[in-house]
Amino acid sequence: MKLFLDTAILEDIVRRYETGLIAGITTNPTLVRKSGVDYHGFIATCCESFPDLESVSVEVSGETAEEMIEEAGKYLPLGSAVTIKVPLNEEGLIACKRLRDQGVKVNVTLCFATDQAILTGIADATYISPFVGRMDDNLFGGISLIRNISKIYKAHGVKTQILSASIRDSASVAQSFLNGADVCTIPPSVFDKMYTNVLTDSGLNIFNEDFKQIK
């Protein structure tokens, strides 16, 4: 059970990495465009500044497997955590298989169906990213997709880790893990929210008051 942060903002990572509770980072072109960072520089800094991360996902562009693999080559020297993120289409899966044959970590992204997940498992991806929030936005159950992929992978001994993505709230983190996710990648705000519970706060206030009365 692992948590990754889904962000391209360095400052979002620093304090949360220091908690020791974060195992990886995922990025995508939209997050990178919004943050305004230089993508290569950002990934290089993550690999250097956060050495305990098991995975830093870099989404590659390109329409053919060859183009994706060529772009992957620019990031792989940055560190062993670099995980090449390819789209869940024919060319992306060809790239996945070839990269995996070379021992490269691969995250196959934009999964919306179990048949896609089957191909991804056969391509031996390191991670598959089903987009829970975007499924829910379109009235398909994102969590049931996680559950079904998990059942298929368990039944067939598939090693690909299910990386629940597009998560919008902390309840979806719990639901993802309950239904077989291995990892959740979450926005920093959702990570912060996971600590917070009104009953913990009020209970702690009472205990702190009682501490003052103890002789």
Residues in contact with ligand E4P by the rule CB under 6 A: 6, 26, 28, 109, 129, 131, 133-134, 165-166, 185
Cα separation, 197 vs 199, whole angstroms: 5
Task: State whether residue 77 is helix, strand or coil.
Answer: helix
Cα separation, 152 vs 150, whole angstroms: 5
- Which of 34/40 has CB closer to ligand E4P? 34
Catalytic-role residue among 2, 34, 74, 85:
85
- Which of 62/133 has CB closer to ligand E4P? 133
Residue 11 beta carbon to ligand E4P: minimum distance, rounded to whole angstroms: 18
CA 15 to centroid of chain Cα atoms: 18
Residue 162 beta carbon to ligand E4P: minimum distance, rounded to whole angstroms: 13
- Which of 174/204 has CB closer to ligand E4P? 174
Question: Which tokens is 116 given?
Answer: 């896609």
Concerning whether 105 is annotated as a catalytic residue, the answer is no
Residue nearest ligand E4P by beta-carbon distance:
166
Instruction: Look at residues 181, 149, 198 and name the one whose alpha carbon lies nearest to residue 4.
Output: 181
If you ran DSSP here, which 8-state letter would residue 124 be given?
A: T
Catalytic residues: 85
